[in-house]
Structure 1
């Protein structure tokens, strides 16, 4: 137990990994855990309250809420993880280049990012999905477009603060190429904020996906998706039908909480100031390389 990092033994880490493990189980074993089809309606079972037959009740079309919540885990996490992964893979190298090379190209890219981020993210996402179509992959592409500037700006800011450091000058003097300096030295030092942002962005992507579906701009019925389920039950809540919206709403809360907690854990694990306490602050260290240049 003593060899396990303290950050992994904290209550936040335990809760975060437990929620992540639960979601992975739901994704992998959804057909085994779901007692009903998530897309088959049964008019005779419309709006039944939670019971032994339907643990989370049924919605207005008679579809089982419990089964739809389980299958929606696949849809929401698929969209969120894919979109953030694409944004990370595009934004990180892009931010690295525009941070290392100064010029008109870097300025044009930054102005493009300013233009994208000048719009309210929810409004821009809604407009892009309306143009591209309400399909699962289109929603993922739109979210990737929205999150790419976030990762690019994070990496650029780190590179700008590192490119004039002594270890970069030493690498140039040793004959290292620009690509080697960027990917062998600068990227390793600049990745920490982006790695933490991955977990936070997945939570934000879950909220955006649910929000777009809630207003009818995301995926369409009968696809099981948490925001769409909350929307379908919102009109019945005033009539006392609380279960249709409550359970998918709780699923959103716990899923976002999971990735928020994991973001803090990743930050603590990767923070070089905590893993290299014996190193003098006056020495330039490249995390992952093993020592000063």
Structure 2
């Protein structure tokens, strides 16, 4: 009943409804892309280069004659695949790591925290460009790089919660009852420390989408002819001065909607998880 109440409160928020609607459209694009698009997303046709939006090409074509609508739909797969994979990997690694360095204090914990400080001292975008250039411009390499950037974020969130929970009376009671450290960490502390990290998942996916698009925009991410929103904006930006606005505009709107979707879901989740954060 309690879970049903949380879901109901979540769905009662307009931000959650809007976010879920946009997310549903993205899921449809990911699953049914081959049946939705009228053209191949990677086959060029110079005969229809830079055509404006029309009945034949709903969102126009780019400089290579590739249909923009078809590429945007397929790019949803690429961008969400990279972003969600990166955040899941960061969550799976960062949460247990944050739990350990929060529960056990000492040289190892301090060393890990200094490593996190080193990683986070670099501008995220610059560090991402450097790592991708070293590892290679492949889809999975971009996802790995983003995961490395997000691991400290999840680990710090969990560590902060663990530090406040490890001295609570119920933890002391568990120790007195003979519970092992492993049992205390994973049965008593972790379930009570997960809320901030779970809320952060949605926000981090939006950040990962922006970083993926940004890396591709500057030529350090996904390469042609793979359909990717940032890469499409980069190609279209070169044509905007000539009045060809549609090549960059529609992929840019796709990025805005995708990031907005996860930001709204994260905001709604935060309000449900923390009653003091609810808007009046």
Q: How would you bin the TM-score normalised by the shorter chain?
A: over 0.9
Q: Cα deviations across residues 195-216 of structure 1 (Å, max 9, x unaligned)?
A: 0100000000000000000000
Counterpart pick for 1:94 among 94, 97, 101: 97
Partners of 2:179 and 2:136 lie apart in 1 by 47
Alignment correspondent of 1:154: 157
Alpha carbon RMSD of aligned pairs, Å? 1.6
Alignment correspondent of 2:171: 168
Alignment map for 1:19-168 (pairs within 5 Å): 19-168=22-171
Partners of 1:182 and 1:76 lie apart in 2 by 35
Shift of 1:271: 3.9
Q: Partner of 1:129: helix, strand, or coil?
A: helix
Shift of 1:272: 7.6
Q: Cα deviations across residues 219-256 of structure 1 (Å, max 9, x unaligned)?
A: 10000000000000001101100000000000000000
Alignment map for 1:211-290 (pairs within 5 Å): 211-271=214-274
**Which structure 1 segments of 5+ residues have no match?**
275-293
Alignment correspondent of 2:206: 203
Shift of 1:11: 1.3
Q: CA 1:2–1:177 in 2, change beyond 3 Å: closer, same or farther?
A: closer
Counterpart pick for 2:9 among 6, 9, 34: 6
Q: CA 1:180–1:3 in 2, change beyond 3 Å: closer, same or farther?
A: closer
Alignment TM-score, normalising by the size of structure 2: 0.95
Partners of 1:175 and 1:42 lie apart in 2 by 71
**Bigger mean CA offset, 186-195 vs 3-12:** 3-12
Contact 2:9 2:272 in 1 (8 A): no
Partners of 1:46 and 1:3 lie apart in 2 by 51
**Which structure 2 segments of 5+ residues have no match?**
none
Q: Cα deviations across residues 146-198 of structure 1 (Å, max 9, x unaligned)?
A: 00000000000110011101010000001111011101011111111100100
Shift of 1:106: 0.4
Partners of 2:110 and 2:5 lie apart in 1 by 49
Q: Larger helix proportion, structure 1 or 2?
A: 2
User: How many residues of Structure 1 are paired with residues of Structure 2 in the alignment?
Assistant: 274
Q: Cα deviations across residues 116-140 of structure 1 (Å, max 9, x unaligned)?
A: 0000000000000000000000000
Alignment TM-score, normalising by the size of structure 1: 0.91
Alignment correspondent of 1:287: none
